[in-house]
Protein backbone atom coordinates (compact mmCIF):
# COMPACT_ATOMS: atom_id res chain seq x y z
CA UNK A 1 0.00 0.00 0.00
CA UNK A 2 1.36 3.42 -0.93
CA UNK A 3 1.90 5.93 1.83
CA UNK A 4 1.45 9.64 1.50
CA UNK A 5 3.79 11.84 3.49
CA UNK A 6 2.23 14.95 4.90
CA UNK A 7 4.60 17.69 5.94
CA UNK A 8 3.54 21.06 7.24
CA UNK A 9 5.60 24.16 6.49
CA UNK A 10 7.87 25.34 9.27
CA UNK A 11 7.65 28.79 10.75
CA UNK A 12 11.32 29.48 9.98
CA UNK A 13 11.37 32.82 11.75
CA UNK A 14 8.99 34.99 13.73
CA UNK A 15 10.13 38.40 14.93
CA UNK A 16 6.93 39.27 16.80
CA UNK A 17 8.60 39.54 20.20
CA UNK A 18 5.35 40.67 21.87
CA UNK A 19 3.70 37.30 21.25
CA UNK A 20 3.60 34.86 24.15
CA UNK A 21 4.81 32.02 21.91
CA UNK A 22 7.87 33.95 20.69
CA UNK A 23 11.32 33.34 22.12
CA UNK A 24 14.54 34.40 20.39
CA UNK A 25 12.80 35.06 17.05
CA UNK A 26 11.25 31.61 17.05
CA UNK A 27 7.62 30.51 17.42
CA UNK A 28 7.19 27.75 20.00
CA UNK A 29 3.59 26.67 19.70
CA UNK A 30 2.93 23.45 17.79
CA UNK A 31 1.04 24.97 14.84
CA UNK A 32 -0.27 28.37 13.78
CA UNK A 33 -3.29 29.39 11.74
CA UNK A 34 -2.94 32.12 9.11
CA UNK A 35 -5.89 34.15 7.86
CA UNK A 36 -6.56 37.70 6.75
CA UNK A 37 -8.01 39.95 4.09
CA UNK A 38 -7.28 43.09 2.12
CA UNK A 39 -3.82 42.09 0.95
CA UNK A 40 -2.34 40.91 4.22
CA UNK A 41 -1.96 37.50 5.83
CA UNK A 42 -2.26 37.69 9.59
CA UNK A 43 -1.13 35.09 12.09
CA UNK A 44 -4.29 34.08 13.95
CA UNK A 45 -2.32 32.48 16.78
CA UNK A 46 -0.79 35.74 18.04
CA UNK A 47 -1.26 35.87 21.82
CA UNK A 48 -0.23 39.15 23.52
CA UNK A 49 -0.24 38.02 27.13
CA UNK A 50 2.31 39.14 29.71
CA UNK A 51 3.46 35.55 30.26
CA UNK A 52 5.39 33.35 27.85
CA UNK A 53 4.07 29.95 26.76
CA UNK A 54 4.60 27.20 24.25
CA UNK A 55 7.06 24.34 24.22
CA UNK A 56 10.75 25.35 24.32
CA UNK A 57 11.95 22.54 22.00
CA UNK A 58 9.11 22.85 19.50
CA UNK A 59 9.34 25.03 16.42
CA UNK A 60 5.93 25.89 14.99
CA UNK A 61 4.44 24.78 11.69
CA UNK A 62 1.60 26.24 9.66
CA UNK A 63 -1.44 24.14 10.54
CA UNK A 64 -3.98 25.94 8.37
CA UNK A 65 -4.26 29.00 6.17
CA UNK A 66 -7.38 30.62 4.74
CA UNK A 67 -5.51 32.95 2.33
CA UNK A 68 -6.70 31.06 -0.75
CA UNK A 69 -5.38 33.86 -2.97
CA UNK A 70 -1.75 33.14 -1.99
CA UNK A 71 0.35 31.25 -4.56
CA UNK A 72 1.46 28.85 -1.83
CA UNK A 73 -2.09 27.95 -0.81
CA UNK A 74 -3.69 24.72 -1.99
CA UNK A 75 -7.05 23.61 -0.63
CA UNK A 76 -6.63 26.01 2.30
CA UNK A 77 -3.29 24.48 3.27
CA UNK A 78 0.11 26.12 2.93
CA UNK A 79 2.50 24.35 0.53
CA UNK A 80 5.53 26.63 1.02
CA UNK A 81 8.70 25.02 2.33
CA UNK A 82 8.58 27.45 5.23
CA UNK A 83 7.20 30.82 6.21
CA UNK A 84 8.45 33.91 7.98
CA UNK A 85 6.29 36.00 10.30
CA UNK A 86 6.92 39.62 11.31
CA UNK A 87 5.06 42.44 13.03
CA UNK A 88 2.42 44.18 10.93
CA UNK A 89 0.94 47.64 11.10
CA UNK A 90 -2.15 48.81 12.94
CA UNK A 91 -4.55 45.98 13.73
CA UNK A 92 -2.31 43.49 11.93
CA UNK A 93 -0.11 42.37 14.80
CA UNK A 94 1.67 39.54 12.99
CA UNK A 95 1.94 39.08 9.22
CA UNK A 96 3.04 36.15 7.07
CA UNK A 97 5.85 37.65 4.95
CA UNK A 98 5.82 34.63 2.64
CA UNK A 99 2.31 35.55 1.44
CA UNK A 100 2.36 36.23 -2.28
CA UNK A 101 -0.87 37.02 -4.15
CA UNK A 102 -1.59 34.95 -7.27
S1 LIG B 1 2.78 31.55 2.52
FE2 LIG B 1 0.66 31.92 1.80
S3 LIG B 1 -0.37 29.91 2.07
FE4 LIG B 1 1.52 29.88 3.35
S5 LIG B 1 0.85 30.60 5.41
FE6 LIG B 1 1.61 32.43 4.26
S7 LIG B 1 -0.27 33.31 3.34
FE8 LIG B 1 -0.78 31.18 3.93
Q: 0.85 cut: is pTM over it?
A: yes
Per the domain annotation, does 7 fall within a domain? no
Please give the distance, rounded to the nearest whole angstrom, from the Cα atom of residue 79 to the centre of ligand 1.
Answer: 8
In this predicted structure, what is the pLDDT of residue 92?
A: 79
Q: Which residue has the higher pLDDT, 90 or 25?
A: 25
pLDDT digits (tens, 9 = 90+) for 35-47: 987 778 999 999 9
Per the domain annotation, does 6 fall within a domain? no
The total number of structural domains that make up the chain: 1
Per the domain annotation, does 8 fall within a domain? no
Q: Which residues of 56-79 are buried (b: 16+ CB within 10 A; e: fewer)?
A: eeebbbbbebebeebebbeeeebe
Give the residue numbers spanning the domain of 76. 13-96
Whether residue 69 has pLDDT greater than 90: yes
The protein residue with its alpha carbon nearest to ligand 1, atom 8, reads 65
- From residue 18, give the alpha-carbon distance in Å to each of 1, 36, 67, 98: 46, 19, 24, 20
Amino acid sequence: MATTETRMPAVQECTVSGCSYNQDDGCHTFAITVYGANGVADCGTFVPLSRKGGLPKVLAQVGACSRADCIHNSDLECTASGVRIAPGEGDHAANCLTYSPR
